[in-house]
């Protein structure tokens, strides 16, 4: 069963002297009525904004204009999308029989190919700097129940060749699927030659984790999300990780393993990063704002 990401808007009130806030010159207004018509967060990737809409997923260019729309394939639930620098998009999801696949779309919105992923159901997707595709996902259990181990993190070429499989399920304690699909959740990002992955499983607040690997799939570290309600939503060009919670915007301190509350004050939903700035989408108006961070 696919869940939907329900993400509340965060407002952080801080003293004016210490708050990092919007600059109107960093605003982009999009040619649409709403950036979350289905109440799901948009995703910002390489200057493009992906918006989950009733007719599919709208891909908006940096100018704010609709570049193309990815239609909903018949009998398929698309749960996640990523957009590369050239405007190519990748979507992942599952068909009505529970089988998973990966769809590749060109910058005009035409389907290039469908990559069948056999006994693996991709939940989240992102592009590497070389244009290849990384996913996190689950084992296909549509026709059988098995406790067989499997690799959660997969690497594919654009031609559909499986280049590698990493991060075994057995490395996570407890029951449940660490990469269970939540529609529109940006749980997989790449920045600064690191793959950043968010996992939550077993229904426990103790089983919420941010994991990083290098571009060869080698694990670099694991950090629990202690004391905050949000999930990591932004991974800056410099490699800083930001999460949002009901009481503010947090940044990961890898050395201590702590999530440190910042002085960033912004109205809207954190939808990604653009170089050294965080990107927030206005919940009411169809605009995004870039907030530079140190």
pLDDT tens across 215-231, in order?
Answer: 999 999 999 998 788 88
- At 5 the pLDDT is 66
Q: What's the rounded Cα separation, in Å, for the pair 122 and 98?
A: 11
The two tokens of residue 215 are 């571009």
Average pLDDT over residues 246-270: 91
The two tokens of residue 186 are 């940006």
Largest CA distance in the chain: 59
How many angstroms from the chain centroid is the CA of residue 169? Answer: 20
Closest CA to 117 of 83, 147, 151, 74: 151
Average pLDDT over residues 57-69: 97
Q: Give me the residue label for tokens 């590749």.
A: 104
Average pLDDT over residues 186-210: 93
**3-class SS of residue 171:** helix
Confidence of residue 202 (pLDDT cuts 50, 70, 90): confident
**pLDDT reading at 13 higher than 60:** no
Pairing of strands 182-183, 3-4: parallel
Angstrom distances, CA of residue 103 to CA of 30, 72, 92, 120, 241: 25, 11, 6, 14, 28
Neighbours of 143 (CB within 10 A): 10
The two tokens of residue 117 are 């992923």
Q: What's the rounded Cα separation, in Å, for the pair 172 and 204?
A: 13
182 or 95, which is more confident: 182
Average pLDDT over residues 11-35: 61
In the chain, domain spans = 3-292
| Angle at CA of residue 78, ends 73 and 81, nearest 5° | 120
Q: Give me the residue label for tokens 């704010």.
A: 64
Average pLDDT over residues 260-272: 88
168 Cβ neighbours under 8 A, 6+ residues apart: 149, 150, 151, 152
Confidence of residue 143 (pLDDT cuts 50, 70, 90): low
147 or 209, which is more confident: 209
Average pLDDT over residues 19-25: 52
- At 15 the pLDDT is 29
Q: What's the rounded Cα separation, in Å, for the pair 193 and 91?
A: 22
The fold of the 3-292 domain, in CATH, is Neuraminidase (2.120.10)
Q: What's the rounded Cα separation, in Å, for the pair 288 and 60?
A: 12
The two tokens of residue 244 are 């949002």
- At 12 the pLDDT is 30
Instruction: Determine contact, residues 211/199, Cβ cutoff 8 Å.
Output: yes
179 or 23, which is more confident: 179
What share of the chain has pLDDT > 90, as a percent?
72
């Amino acid at each position: 069963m696919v869940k939907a990401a329900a993400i509340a808007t965060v407002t952080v009130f801080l003293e004016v002297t210490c708050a990092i806030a919007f600059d109107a010159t960093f605003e982009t207004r999009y040619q649409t009525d709403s950036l979350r018509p289905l109440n799901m967060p948009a995703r910002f990737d390489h200057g493009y904004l992906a918006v989950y809409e009733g007719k599919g997923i709208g891909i908006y260019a940096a100018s704010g204009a609709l570049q193309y729309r990815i239609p909903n394939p018949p009998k398929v639930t698309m749960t996640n999308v990523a957009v590369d620098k050239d405007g190519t998009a990748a979507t992942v999801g599952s068909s009505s029989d529970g089988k998973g696949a990966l769809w590749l779309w060109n910058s005009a919105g035409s389907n290039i190919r469908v990559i069948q992923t056999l006994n693996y159901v991709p939940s989240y997707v992102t592009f590497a700097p070389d244009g290849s595709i990384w996913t996190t996902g689950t084992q296909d259990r549509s026709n059988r129940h098995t406790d067989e181990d499997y690799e959660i993190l997969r690497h594919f070429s654009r031609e559909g060749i499986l280049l590698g499989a990493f991060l075994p399920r057995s490395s996570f304690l407890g029951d449940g699927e660490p990469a269970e699909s939540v529609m529109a959740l940006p749980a997989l990002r790449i920045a600064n030659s690191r793959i950043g992955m968010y996992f939550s499983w077993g229904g426990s607040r103790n089983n919420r984790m941010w994991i990083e690997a290098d571009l060869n799939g080698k694990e670099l570290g694991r950090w629990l999300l202690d004391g905050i309600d949000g999930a990591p939503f932004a991974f800056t060009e410099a490699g800083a990780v930001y999460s949002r919670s009901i009481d503010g915007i947090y940044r990961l301190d890898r050395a201590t393993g702590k999530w440190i509350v910042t002085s960033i004050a912004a109205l809207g939903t954190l939808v990604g990063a653009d170089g050294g700035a965080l990107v927030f989408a206005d919940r009411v108006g169809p605009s995004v704002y870039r907030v530079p961070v140190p």
